[in-house]
Amino acid sequence: LDLVMPGMDGLELCQKLRALPAYQHTPIIFVTGDVEFQARADSLLQSGDYLIAKPVMALEVAVKAVTHLLRLRQS
């Protein structure tokens, strides 16, 4: 989710998704061009799993996905 989206920001959408039983354990990755610490803190406080800064690198997204899958296997 992008932190800045038209209509509803990524933080609000994350909160709405987490309220749905089917999405409580779905990994949510925030993407932002905002380099401020508060944006990063807000993304984690809203139950996001990761935050990636723009410009997005495909390798970073892949690493985050694999990391999440490995964590699932450990639990």
- Identify the residue with better confidence: 1 or 35: 1
Mean pLDDT of the chain: 86
The pLDDT confidence band at residue 71, using thresholds 50, 70 and 90, is confident
Cβ(28)–Cβ(49) under 8 Å?
yes
Measured CA to CA in angstroms, residue 31 lies from 10, 12, 22, 50, 66 at distances of 9, 14, 22, 9, 17
Report the distance separating Cα 58 and Cα 62, nearest Å. Answer: 6
Q: What is the pTM of this model?
A: 0.74
pLDDT by residue (tens digit) across 30-59?
888 877 788 778 877 778 888 888 898 999
- Identify the residue with better confidence: 73 or 18: 18
